[in-house]
Amino acid sequence: MTPTPVIPVAGAELPSPVVPRPAALLILARDGEEGLEVFMLQRTGKADFVPGANVFPGGGVDAADSEPGIAAFAGELNDATASAALGLPAGGLGYWVGAVRECFEEAGLLLAQRRDGDALDFAQPEVAARFAELRRALNAGRTTFAELCAAESLRLTLDRMVYFAHWITPVGMNRRYDTRFFVAPAPLGQLASHDEAETVDSVWIRPADALERHAQGSFSLVYATRETLQALSGFATVADLMAHARGVSGIAARMPRVGTGPKGRHVVGPRDACYAELGFIDPHGHGQALCQIVPGTAVRLAEGVWRLTAANPSYMTGPGTNTYLLGDAEGVTVIDPGPADPEHVRAILAHAPGPITQILVTHTHSDHSPAAALLKAQTGASVIGLPAPPGVQDQTFAPEYCPEDGDSIPTRAGTLQVLHTPGHASNHLCYLHPATRLLFSGDHIMQGSTVVINPPDGDMRTYLASLERLLAEDIGHIAPAHGFLMDDPQGVVRELIAHRLRREAVILRALQTDGPATTEALLPRVYAHISGPLKKVAARSLQAHLDKLEKDEKVSLQDGVWHATNAGTEGG
């Protein structure tokens, strides 16, 4: 078999990413006959940045947007307040002013009034004509925004704008912006128009319609605009939108990344499963890292570390079982060789950069350890792990060395530290690789689905304790046996614990409010939304929770019926 080419990783010789330029944009909203509408411009196909895309008015924040003189036109808003709202030490006011200036330049809409409080009346032809000329002069650089404001005795109505979102252009793009999105009601009595230069068309459109037209292929949108329209589509009126926006604080920056999918390069966001992995293996944003897990295709995760996924996808195994290879031409360590699939074993042998000397397993479920015997027969490598409990799981697994918690296992790619993490399985081990700060987590943590705790070998109480202990380890990313690399390990672990405790609280509450029940009667009360094959899995999880609650003395079993105890009632 010809080895599949390994995905290359960005090297140190590559240029540093472009530093994003500060930018601001203004989403103007109005109440249309069929609901909230926003103003969008279509960029010229000749534009350097996102040609042909439909966008909100906006652009780069100029130095002049932050000059001290501009504060005179900013009304109540000062730089300290503006910066605080954006989470910046200083310079925040420039984003507000830049958004208004860009919106006037690009759309002809000016979020301003006279200093005496009068609205700008573009219904008067001479006023409209004068401002049209001022817009041309501003676009041509014949006047500055501050001069324009002074000449027309304007006060910018920045108090009508609310900070709404923060997007940063993906690493790897040759033009990048760090953009603050604002929302505001459209100024009354003004007519929006595109400039026929940078922008060639414009439209007031319902966010849902824009998304619909995009889906049909007739309305080009970039990722951040699409996500923003998705958020905007949840509001029926301008008042709803503004009330919501005023109530939000602590807006996090979002930075999409570029990866390669079945149809070529595309942008992915933080909600996509591959997002964290793209940041880890392609920090310079070259876009060649894969957005999907392809069985038989090796992915290079770091120097001397690869992932190769077995072709056993299912509702239990997600995209398939991940086998990890660590090492070099001198020797290779395999973690979780996978199911007894000769094709997968052949792929492991083909992708190993050198002779396989060690086979490690995380636990002895049938999708993780059975290939150890096949691989051992072909390589003579030493087999490391803990044996299966008597009579269940993979009885063919015959480790020559049973590591203990805290042991170090040397590999050609650096030492692995053994963490005994019972819970999913009593013999479960995780392997921490300090050189990369990757935790090979087996099934202790998997991506995209809840780990099954199947008693009696699975144990919820020890599972939660094994999660807790990970909080003390120095982990950068989790490398699960199912799914992509995951970042924010502390957050992931805390949420997994919280999820189980929430479920436990639901079970306790069901017993308290609806009275004692058998396991069978409890199942639909606790897992109402689950059907099909997952129902069996849910029944095992419920049993695991009840076992834990019994050990915690919060429930007791009497003649096959579960009762909440006083401790459960007080504690729950």
Residue 336 makes contact with Zn ion by CB under 5 A: no
Write the CB contacts of 291 (distance below 8 Å, at least 6 apart in sequence). 259, 260, 261, 266, 268, 272, 274, 278
**Binding mask 292-321 vs Zn ion (x if CB under 5 A, - otherwise)?**
------------------------------
Question: In the bound complex, what is the minimum distance in angstroms from residue 443's beta carbon to Zn ion?
Answer: 4
- Beta strands 322-328 and 199-205: pairing type? unpaired
User: Among residues 401, 399, 411, 442, which one has the least CA distance to residue 333?
Assistant: 411
Task: Point out which span in 113-121, 269-277, 359-367, 530-538 binds Zn ion (CB under 5 A).
Answer: 359-367
Write the CB contacts of 105 (distance below 8 Å, at least 6 apart in sequence). 59, 135, 138, 139, 195
Report the residue number, 105 or 443, with the smaller CB distance to Zn ion.
443
3-class secondary-structure state, position 337:
coil
Give dist(CA 234, CA 228) in Å, integer. 10
Beta strands in 434-531 (DSSP E): 438-442, 477-480
Give dist(CA 126, CA 106) in Å, integer. 21
SS3 of 118-146: CECCCCCHHHHHHHHHHHHHHHHCCCCHH
Report the residue number, 361 or 507, with the smaller CB distance to Zn ion.
361
Question: In the bound complex, what is the minimum distance in angstroms from residue 424's beta carbon to Zn ion?
Answer: 6
Report the residue number, 113 or 362, with the smaller CB distance to Zn ion.
362
Report the residue number, 365 or 548, with the smaller CB distance to Zn ion.
365
Write the CB contacts of 58 (distance below 8 Å, at least 6 apart in sequence). 23, 24, 25, 26, 98, 99, 102, 103, 106, 179, 181
Question: In the bound complex, what is the minimum distance in angstroms from residue 225's beta carbon to Zn ion?
Answer: 41
Using the rule CB under 5 A, which residue among 155, 226, 365, 420 binds Zn ion?
A: 365
By CB under 5 A, the count of residues binding Zn ion is: 2
Task: Point out which span in 143-151, 184-192, 379-387, 440-448 binds Zn ion (CB under 5 A).
Answer: 440-448
Question: In the bound complex, what is the minimum distance in angstroms from residue 220's beta carbon to Zn ion?
Answer: 44
User: Among residues 180, 139, 144, which one has the least CA distance to residue 69?
Assistant: 144
* Residues comprising the chain, all counted: 572
Task: Point out which span in 163-171, 203-211, 278-286, 435-443 binds Zn ion (CB under 5 A).
Answer: 435-443
- Beta strands 35-43 and 112-114: pairing type? unpaired
Task: Point out which span in 190-198, 258-266, 327-335, 360-368 binds Zn ion (CB under 5 A).
Answer: 360-368
Residue 443 makes contact with Zn ion by CB under 5 A: yes
Report the residue number, 94 or 480, with the smaller CB distance to Zn ion.
480
Question: ω into residue 399 within 30 of 0, thus cis?
Answer: no
Report the residue number, 443 or 547, with the smaller CB distance to Zn ion.
443
Report the residue number, 277 or 443, with the smaller CB distance to Zn ion.
443
Report the residue number, 79 or 443, with the smaller CB distance to Zn ion.
443
Return the residues of window 145-164 that contact Zn ion according to CB under 5 A: none
Residue 459 makes contact with Zn ion by CB under 5 A: no
Question: In the bound complex, what is the minimum distance in angstroms from residue 426's beta carbon to Zn ion?
Answer: 11
User: Among residues 29, 249, 24, 253, which one has the least CA distance to residue 160?
Assistant: 29
Task: Please report, as ranges, the residues that interact with Zn ion according to CB under 5 A.
Answer: 365, 443
